[in-house]
Structure 1
Amino acid sequence: MVSLFENYEQQYSVLTADITSQVGLLTASATKDRRQLISKIEKHVEEAQELLEQMELEVREVEPTKRQRCRTKLDCYRAELKRLTLDYIKARSVRQGVLYDSAEELNDVRISSDQKQRLLENSESLERSNKKLEQGYKVIIETQEIGNQVLKNLGEQRETIQRSRNRLREHDEDLGRSGKLMNAMIMRSLQQKVILIAVLVCFFLMLCIGLYLGFKRN
């Protein structure tokens, strides 16, 4: 199954092939044809830049084992597009050293420097955007790692609290058993005291009866 990154690669290859062939035609083309070629090349360059941005986003979703290889490919594609952009700029400027066939062609050459500067600025802007995206991605990864560590710590604390609760529950059960045992001992002690008192009372009554009978006989 073809991944989205590989699909972008195929589209990028088609675009760069078109740009390469059109830049070659631009060098030797007539004025009328040059306008059409310039329009097509600039459109394809913009599409290629957008594809690189999409590929940059897709690299982050690739499996970690394949991510570095895809990132290396992406760097090569950026360098290739930059080279093609410079080739295009040179192709647009190649006729500046010869006689011009018309005023329109002369105007094309005059504005080429502005377009050249704009293309260079776009290329630099793309590189800056890629760097910002990479920095943002690093921040996200670091934040995710911190979040995972916090979750791990919370999990450990939760387990510690759970173990403490279990120990408290066990202590409560031990205290309950101890309380029951203590109550049983108290009840047994009270029973023994009652029995002892009853025995003493009986002994005292018997003693009193014996003394009474002895005095009565006398």
Structure 2
Amino acid sequence: MADLLPEFEQHFATVTAEITSKTCLLGTKDGAERHVFIRDIEKLVGEARELLESMELEVREAEPSLRERLNTRVKSYEVELNRLEDEYKRTKKSLPNEEASRADLFEAVSAGQSAHEEQRQRLLDDCDTLEHTSARLTQGHRIALETEQIGAQILNDLNGQRQTISRARQRLQETDTDLDRSSRVLNTMLRRVLQNRFVLYTVVALIVIVVIIAIYVMATRH
């Protein structure tokens, strides 16, 4: 896995959380402050798009065995960003026109206040929904990172255990080889001992025979 992908993911989570927060507050702003919020949100959306492109580049450089899983994660981030952008556009579209509001303010003040309160409540409800969704996304991202770290640790442990087993197997093979060599040496020594014993018995027997013959010869002369 590319080294920069977790950093990009963390930055993306921060940016999308900020988009959610500003979108929720957009309906409560008026005048210049509303324009500042709109400019900030659009800038954050552009920044999130650039982060997605960077993550896609990192995925292309990842190992083939990880590429499909990482690409699925990046696609889910793209879906989430599209959803936030659509929510922002709906919120922006539903905002009342400031010039028309000033012209019709006197005659529609009561109805306008009621509609504004209803719209404000709807925006607050949408804000809560977006915040909950963003919190779930952040939590899911954190759990994914933790799961990936645990998986990497397990793979490292398994690799270490495999190396330990391989070394133990190699030592066992070396021990078997040494035992075979020792067994051959002992067999050779045993054969030599038996051969030496046979030669010794043969020499003793010959000496005994010679002594008996000598005694016999000496006895027959007398």
Q: TM-score range by the shorter chain?
A: 0.5 to 0.7
Where 1:173 maps in the other structure, the secondary structure is helix
Cα distance per residue 1:83-104 (max 9 Å; x no partner) = 124325525999795645997x
Q: Distance in 2 between matches of 1:210 and 1:116?
A: 139
Question: Offset of 1:67 from its aligned partner?
Answer: 5.9
Of the three residues 151, 175, 179, the one matched with 2:182 is 175
Of the three residues 84, 88, 91, the one matched with 1:83 is 88
2:172 is the counterpart of 1:195: no
Q: Distance in 2 between matches of 1:99 and 1:206?
A: 158
Q: Distance in 1 between matches of 2:106 and 2:207?
A: 142
The answer for the alignment partner of 1:212 in structure 2 is 219
The answer for the alignment partner of 2:53 in structure 1 is none
Q: Distance in 1 between matches of 2:165 and 2:179?
A: 21
Where 2:171 maps in the other structure, the secondary structure is helix
The answer for the alignment partner of 1:160 in structure 2 is 167
The answer for the alignment partner of 1:6 in structure 2 is none
The answer for the alignment partner of 2:133 in structure 1 is 126
- Number of matched residues? 156
Unaligned runs of 5+ in 1: 1-58
Alpha-carbon RMSD: 3.6
Q: Distance in 1 between matches of 2:97 and 2:205?
A: 127
Unaligned runs of 5+ in 2: 1-55, 60-65
Of the three residues 110, 114, 118, the one matched with 1:111 is 118
Larger radius of gyration, structure 1 or 2?
A: 1
Of structures 1 and 2, the one with the larger relative CO (CA 8 A, separation 6+) is 2
Counterpart amino acid of 1:206? I
Q: Distance in 2 between matches of 1:160 and 1:192?
A: 48
The answer for the alignment partner of 2:16 in structure 1 is none
Q: Percent identity?
A: 7
Where 2:196 maps in the other structure, the secondary structure is helix
